[in-house]
Chain A
Amino acid sequence: MLQSLKMRQGQEMALTTVIAAVAVVLSVLPMSRLLLEVVFPGGELSVAAIEAGLANPATWRATRNTLVVGIGGTVLATLAGTAVALLVALTNVRGRRLFVLCFVLPLMIAPQITALAWLQLFGPASPFLKLFGIAPPIGTPNPLYSPAGIVLLLAVQYAPLVFLMVRAGLRRLPRELVEAAQSGGAGPFTVLWTVILPLMTPSIVAAAALTFVSCVGNFGIPAFLGIPANYLVLPTLIYQRLAGAGPSVLPEVAFLSVLIGVIAMAGIVAQDIIARRRDFRIGSTSLPPQPYNLGRWRVVAETVMWLVIVAILVLPLFGLVLTSLISAFGVPVTWETVSIRNYTFVLFEHAAVTRSFRNSIFLSLAAAGFAVLVAVPLGYMVAWGRSRWTKALNLAVELPYALPGVVMAIAALLIFLRPIPLTGIHIYNTVWIILYAYLARFLVLALRPTVSGYHQIDRALEEAAQITGAGLLMRLRTIIFPLVAPAALAGALLIFMTALSELTVSALIWSSGAETVGVMIFSFEQGGRSSEAAAISVIAVAVTAALMLLADLFAKKLPSGVLPWRD
């Protein structure tokens, strides 16, 4: 009896230890390794790397550029995302579900694909403009190769993020607060200005902070739009250094990635300060406000909404598809020039691309599967655990995702540059180092929906099993996993979609034989072969959209709030 008692408590201890170990390996280890490289390069305390970095004018230029596009993108995305959220959540516009799905899609599409698609729309070689014969003359630079272009695309990419967070806030707005203002004589705009927007400050600020972190860490968009114009931001500067000089510049790029981390953290801290300045807490819970009747303006609003979808989604994707169908870049689209040659080429003939599809599917599946396995017990400890370590644990898992992907990639490089101690296993230049970085970076994408799934489950269901004598592992298997599985699987789906055409991390740590889809798109575009890049992108977008639709079909079976684009 006593023995089995020990065994059962042992189960709990073992689980805690394993989960804590995973958190350490995936979060504490890479972050501390990175800091170590900056302060102790080569094992000795030295500020040489910092000094060298600070003395280099390229660092300052890239930092300034990062701040410019980061702040610009954040402001634009926040304005657009908030406006759309207000329109969708508070008024009686029709066709909301489809609109939301379309509006959120850019968030699910990898940034480099967004960039590629937009590039195909403008510029002298645009097959789209050529359709109408309005392409600018050869030699004119593509207007998107500029800071303004980067800011615009960052806004397109991340406005959905702001939209989702602000709309979530608006759903929690009790209608009494709005009705009290209305009965006090306030018109719709007064209510918006004096009640709704002030109460939404925390949501808007949190969304802006997250957008800022995503913008400064974004690699795909400044890589496609900035590098041709020699407008470098910190992530692209790191990429160029590393691609040019190899591992010898690791201390320097480690410093640069810490610099990105510091800028990103500054955004988070600013959010915290603003959110604390006033009391924004909403006490009661109640039904959301009645949708505001737009009357005659409803048709106008709906038209504008769908024009926005056409502009940010339909046209770029159309341009992408057109480019992927023409035989050579720059050729006008006619019935003669259209072919699926590029598709058969990338799917079956180009060894590296075929390999990259295999690699990316393997990486996405492995990262998603592992994340579910870890997220279920980890979410259990975060949501229901009472240990004081749970908060630290949660933070440890959040950190790698809060920091830009470049940071994680450099940390992974530093850890695995040499063989793993004691084992002699060397995963540098293999697909496994990418998997490690993906696991660390994306785990939180599965953890968040899982934790919110736990919060929607009555804990008594577990206690009822516990009281019958079921030990922790038995409960996890028979009760808890079946109950949170939908939420965890939705998280896994997010990971799969994100990892499938991921570029930021893999651009820095890929190697021949371990290519990813994102890397292939990037190298084709850099090599001037936009048609092939477009073909790969179209395939990736099609897979993503199909998965979203599939998940949407099962949305009714999922706990509420686990699919970001659903209510």
Chain B
Amino acid sequence: MAGLTIDNVTKSFGDLDAVRKVSIDVQNGEFLAVLGPSGCGKTTMLRLIAGFEQVTDGRILIGDKVVSDRNMHVPPERRRVGIVFQNYALWPHMTVAENIAYPLKVAKVGKAEREKRVEDALALVNMQGYGDRRPANLSGGQRQRVALARCLVAAPSLVLFDEPLANLDVHLRASMEDEFAAFHKRTGTTIVYITHDQTEAMALADRIAVMDQGRLIQLATPRELFREPANAMVASFIANGIVLPADVLTAEESGHCRVRVLGTEFVVRCQPGEKPRQKALICCRSADIEPAAPGEPGFEGTVTRSVYRGGVGRIEVAPTDAPDCSLHFDQKEPVTLEPGMTARLRIGSGWLIPEENAG
């Protein structure tokens, strides 16, 4: 087992920085998810860790050993890293057992020992008895299990998952998710898990690194990411957060401050040390928004869309004072709001997005 240190890593392809000054410390035994929209640089990140790409700048350490820096590059075959590929990458010309035995063969493990460990690995992923099959004769989920077994059989110090569930259907995804979590708990292997699916990342990871346009935007626990997003991108990306302009009225006091949003004042959570400022942003969730009772303070908006979702209606509203920022909330039965109607709403709570550092 080993931790992973990504220290100020940049990877450029020509003029384009696919990864820009990213630093992440992964603890020994930690499950880290790297999350981001496609093209954010997460796959490049994985290929840098695995050694398929060389860093342009910065360094990568596995355990306390430098494997990549500007002048030096340990090739993938010397990194003792395991990968579970998105499309499984099982060798079609070998049986399941031969696929799994391959890393042991490379490591020159004796035949008897090899067979035993292949059996163990097959048992670990609940695939006993499939050793003689060809990959072509397996279902997607079974292939994924074999790929996992092949990766585990050599007991790598670090396991990388490259969107391992992207090619599976929804039902299989949920069960494989459970298996990955169980596997991590059982073995305590350090895992870096690349995905664009945030529910997957939330469900599995100890911490999530959100990337966008090659940069690391936020590295935090799932809970923190949801409740205290570091900037507007994370706020709107995670769970469809609503970002609204705000003026901060009071300084922080025990983690809260008073803001004015769309003409109404209320209290939101915030970072320590926040001071009154203009043109701030808050993030709130659809659960934080509800229709205002008569006489209660609130703001008006026009309903632009109403989608009935069984039990609740998802209502989208354009506030009268700021028609550009759309917000949405769920109205419980009976769903009465229709497009074109005017609604009076109030925001119960939210998070003051910290002032963005330049860069």
Contacts and interface: CB of A to CB of B under 8 A. Distances in A.
Contacts of B74: 5
Contacts of A196: none
A282 interface: no
A410 to B, nearest CB: 44
A247 B79 CA distance: 59
Interface stretch (A105-113, A159-167, A462-470, A531-539): A462-470
Interface residues of A, number: 22
B85 A474 contact: no
A463 B91 contact: no
Nearest to B160: A467
A467 B103 CA distance: 9
Interface string B63-94: 00000000000111111111101110111110
A1 B93 CA distance: 31
A478 B102 contact: yes
Given A468-B102, A469-B107, A474-B106, A460 B93 contact: no
Contact of B154 (A9, A461, A469): A469
Contacts of A461: 89, 91
A109 to B, nearest CB: 35
Contact of A5 (B78, B81, B83, B87): B78
A8 interface: yes
Given A5-B78, A469-B77, A463 B52 contact: yes
A463 B82 CA distance: 11
Interface string B190-213: 000000000000000000000000
A471 interface: yes
A79 B80 CA distance: 59
A466 B83 CA distance: 10
Contacts, number: 69
B52 A471 contact: no
Interface string B85-119: 11101111100000000110011000000000000
A462 to B, nearest CB: 9
Contact of A463 (B76, B90, B92, B154): B76
Contacts of A9: 75
Contact of B106 (A4, A460, A468): A468
B50 interface: yes
Contacts of B50: 463, 467
A227 to B, nearest CB: 52
Interface in B101-154: 102-103, 106-107, 150, 154
A8 B75 contact: yes
A45 to B, nearest CB: 43
B91 A466 contact: no
Contacts of A551: none
Nearest to B83: A467
A463 B83 contact: yes
Interface residues of B, number: 26
B93 A468 contact: no
A466 B76 contact: yes
B85 A464 contact: yes
A519 B106 CA distance: 50
A483 interface: yes
Contacts of A460: 85-87, 89
Given A5-B75, A9-B75, A483-B93, A467 B87 contact: no
A3 to B, nearest CB: 12
B75 A464 contact: no
A55 to B, nearest CB: 53
Interface in A473-496: 474, 478-479, 482-483
A48 B91 CA distance: 61
Contacts of A458: 87, 89
Given A463-B52, A465-B102, A470 B89 contact: no
Contacts of A8: 75, 77-78
A384 to B, nearest CB: 11
Specify which of A1, A464, A468 lies most central, judged by the most chain B CB atoms within 10 Å of its CB: A468
A469 B105 CA distance: 10
Contacts of B82: 467
A8 B89 CA distance: 23
A468 B89 contact: no
Contacts of B76: 463, 466-467
A40 B218 CA distance: 69
B77 A467 contact: yes
- 8 nearest A-B residue pairs (beta carbon): A468-B103, A460-B89, A464-B89, A482-B93, A466-B76, A470-B106, A469-B77, A469-B106
30 contacts: A8-B75, A458-B89, A460-B89, A461-B89, A463-B52, A463-B76, A463-B85, A464-B83, A464-B89, A464-B90, A465-B102, A465-B106, A466-B52, A466-B75, A467-B50, A467-B76, A467-B77, A467-B79, A467-B81, A467-B82, A468-B103, A468-B106, A468-B107, A469-B78, A469-B103, A469-B154, A470-B102, A482-B91, A482-B93, A483-B91
Interface of B: 50, 52, 74-83, 85-87, 89-93, 102-103, 106-107, 150, 154
Given A464-B91, A467-B83, 12 more contacts: A5-B75, A8-B75, A8-B77, A9-B75, A458-B89, A460-B86, A463-B50, A464-B83, A466-B75, A468-B154, A479-B91, A483-B92
